[in-house]
Amino acid sequence: MKISAEQLTQGVQDLPSLPAVVMELLSNIEQENIDISVLAKKVSYDQALTAKTLRLANSSSLGLQVKVATIQQAITFLGFETTRKLITAAAVTGCFPNGRCPGFNDKAFWRHSIATAACSRSLARRLRFNQDVAFTAGLLHDIGRLVLVTGHPQAYAEVLAWRSAHDGEWLDAERAVLGVDHVDAGVALAEHWNFSDTMRQAIAFHHTPETPGAGFLAAIVHVANAVVHALDLAGEDDELAPALSSVAWNAMGLNEEAYLDLFRETEQQLEEMSAILMA
């Protein structure tokens, strides 16, 4: 059951769209001179999105000592970058329908994505890279899998069967059954949703961070993805640690002590954020 390039593009266009304001936030992710008050107003028109964002803002991992009640307050106390990240997380996790493809574990998918987001952010902090961009890239790195599952649920059920029979990697299962993989689908979605170039690169190269020009963000997400699989956090019975690129590992340049702290932070943040985002 192969999927052609046209079918992939068509599938992406049939997806539920993100609120316009979130698309705006994602496409300008490196741009800092956005009119914040206009954005805060636009977000606050969407009540469900606002409520989820504020719950995230008030979660204990951010350590705010006051409770924020509006998006504008969140921006004042947490800063624009962090608030943007929270809005994006709240919007993206609510955008795809669950349970379309029998056998696909939506919960494990989101636990993996949220943990990779938290881990990417912790890595970025240690490497003095933009933490909010790293969080969002970690959250979205596998979003192509949801594109395939949502757009082609029956075909994806075959991918699940193939993977289980061969005990292989997702990428190999997708290529064998569909002829395209979640990286292709993620890049197609990134185009459709008008993600920034940095974000697109991170999605495109998170399995191949040693590719020339892949960028540092792809290396961060690659290592975070491997760490999260290795920590066995998603709740998948047949969890499989992927091969870790030595180039990406070396680029992190961290010692064991730093990694043990990173593991601890990732686990804590996963539990707290998943309680809010998957509610």
Partner 1 sequence: MSGAYQMRSLADARPGMVLGEVLRDEKGNVLLAQGAVLSEGMLASLGRHGVDMLPILSAARPEATIDPAQVQERLDRVFRKHERGNHDDWATGILRQFVEDFRLGREVQR
69, exposed or middle or buried, with CB in 10 Å at 0-12, 13-18, 19+?
Answer: exposed
Q: Which is nearer to partner 1, 189 or 262 (CB)?
A: 262
Q: Which of residues 42-61 bind partner 1 (CB under 8 A)?
A: 60-61
Q: Which is nearer to partner 1, 24 or 172 (CB)?
A: 172
Contact pattern from residue 61 through residue 80 relative to partner 1, giving x for each residue in contact according to CB under 8 A and a dash for the rest: x-x-x---------------
Out of 24, 81, 210, 239, point to the residue binding partner 1 (CB under 8 A).
239
Q: Which is nearer to partner 1, 106 or 236 (CB)?
A: 236
| Residue 79 beta carbon to partner 1: minimum distance, rounded to whole angstroms | 15
| Residue 239 beta carbon to partner 1: minimum distance, rounded to whole angstroms | 5
Total residues contacting partner 1 (rule CB under 8 A)?
Answer: 31
Q: Which is nearer to partner 1, 41 or 264 (CB)?
A: 264
Q: Which of residues 144-173 bind partner 1 (CB under 8 A)?
A: 167
Helices of type H across the chain: 5-13, 20-27, 36-44, 47-57, 71-78, 80-93, 106-126, 131-140, 143-151, 153-166, 170-178, 182-192, 197-205, 216-231, 246-252, 256-277
Cβ contacts of 242-247, under 8 Å, gap ≥ 24: 242/169, 242/207, 245/208, 245/209, 245/210, 245/219, 247/209, 247/210, 247/219
| Residue 257 beta carbon to partner 1: minimum distance, rounded to whole angstroms | 6
Out of 95, 127, 171, 244, point to the residue binding partner 1 (CB under 8 A).
244
32 binds partner 1 (CB under 8 A): no
Out of 74, 226, 276, 277, point to the residue binding partner 1 (CB under 8 A).
226
Nearest Cα residue to 199 out of 100, 92, 46: 92
- CB within 8 Å of 207: residues ≥ 6 apart: 171, 183, 222, 242
Whether the CB-CB separation of 214 and 201 falls below 8 Å is answered with yes
Out of 157, 245, 273, 276, point to the residue binding partner 1 (CB under 8 A).
245
Take residue 168 and report the two structure tokens written for it: 């292989």
Measured torsion, CA atoms of residues 184, 175, 226, 246, in degrees rounded to the nearest 10: -90
Which residues form the interface with partner 1 (CB under 8 A)? Answer: 60-61, 63, 65, 167, 226-227, 229-232, 239-241, 243-246, 248-250, 256-257, 259-260, 263-265, 268, 271-272
